[in-house]
Amino acid sequence: MPVISSFYGILIKMYFGDHVPPHFHAEYGEFSAQISIRDLGILEGYLPPKALGLVVEWASIHNKELIDNWNNLIKGGNGSFKKIEPLK
């Protein structure tokens, strides 16, 4: 699963050929969650509130890039993703 971004100890990943709805995976320490690209809600899992806030802030800034990565990974596989700027 490609790491597309990382910031403040949070890893953002996407699987190639993953299931719908479009989403990404966020990992922070022992916590992990699947986050919907569409509404930035948690589909599965848990992140502490502060980490979740950072992930939502980052994802709202980079929504178009997330959608592009999702579409490329679904169509083209593991080599088709692009890294996305971290939250600064």
Q: Is 88 helix (H, G, I), strand (E, B) or coil?
A: coil
Contacts of 64 (CB under 8 A, 6+ apart): none
Whether residue 36 has pLDDT greater than 90: yes
DSSP 83: -
Q: What is the pLDDT of residue 41?
A: 96
Between 5 and 69, where is the model more confident? 5
Give the residue-averaged pLDDT of 68-87: 80
For 20, phi then psi, to 5°, come to -85, 160
Cβ burial 33-72 (10 Å sphere, 16+ → b, else e): bbbebeebebeeeebeeebbebbbebbeebeebbeebbeb
Model pTM greater than 0.75? yes
What residue type is assigned to position 62 of the chain?
H
Question: What token pair was written down for 61?
Answer: 């800034």
Q: What is the pLDDT of residue 82?
A: 87
Residue 18 CA, distance from chain mean position = 12
